[in-house]
Amino acid sequence: MAEQCTHDCSSCSQSCSSREQAGPASFLEKPHELSSVKHVVAVASGKGGVGKSFVTSMLAVGLARRGYKTAVLDADITGPSIPKLFGIHEQAQSDGLGIYPALTGQGTQVISINMMLDTETTPVIWRGPVIAGVVKQFWTDVIWRDVDFLFVDMPPGTGDVPLTVFQSLPVDGCLVVSTPQDLVSMIVSKAVNMTSAMHIPVLGLLENMSYLACPDCGKQIELFGHSKAEAVANQFSLPFLGRLPIDPAVAALCDEGRIEEVQLPALDIACDAVEVLMGGEEK
Ligand X SMILES: Nc1ncnc2c1ncn2[C@@H]1O[C@H](COP(=O)(O)OP(=O)(O)OP(=O)(O)O)[C@@H](O)[C@H]1O
Interatomic CA distance for residues 144 and 238, integer angstroms: 31
Interatomic CA distance for residues 112 and 76, integer angstroms: 8
**Which residues are near ligand X by CB under 6 A?**
45, 48-54, 79, 81, 156, 208-209, 244, 246-247, 250-251, 254-255
Interatomic CA distance for residues 259 and 189, integer angstroms: 30
Q: Is 47 labeled as ligand-binding? A: yes
- What sign does the dihedral 234-207-87-89 (CA atoms) show? positive
- In sequence order, what are the beta bridge partners of 111? 73
Query: What is the smallest separation between the CB atom of 11 and ligand X, expressed in angstroms?
Result: 41
Query: What is the smallest separation between the CB atom of 223 and ligand X, expressed in angstroms?
Result: 11
Q: Which is nearer to ligand X, 31 or 83 (CB)?
A: 83
Query: What is the smallest separation between the CB atom of 36 and ligand X, expressed in angstroms?
Result: 27
Q: Is 51 labeled as ligand-binding? A: yes
Q: Is 48 labeled as ligand-binding? A: yes
Q: Is 38 labeled as ligand-binding? A: no
Query: What is the smallest separation between the CB atom of 81 and ligand X, expressed in angstroms?
Result: 4
Query: What is the smallest separation between the CB atom of 85 and ligand X, expressed in angstroms?
Result: 7
- How far is residue 2 from each of residues 15, 20, 23, 25, 251, measured CA to CA in Å? 8, 13, 17, 18, 59
Q: Which is nearer to ligand X, 32 or 52 (CB)?
A: 52
When computed from its CA atoms, the radius of gyration of the chain, rounded to whole angstroms, is 20
Q: Which is nearer to ligand X, 182 or 255 (CB)?
A: 255
Q: Which is nearer to ligand X, 97 or 251 (CB)?
A: 251
Q: Is 107 labeled as ligand-binding? A: no
Interatomic CA distance for residues 150 and 233, integer angstroms: 24
Q: Under a CB-based contact definition with an 8 Å cutoff, are residues 210 and 78 in contact?
A: no
Q: Which is nearer to ligand X, 92 or 250 (CB)?
A: 250
Q: Which residues are annotated as a binding site?
A: 46-53
Annotated binding site for ATP: 46-53
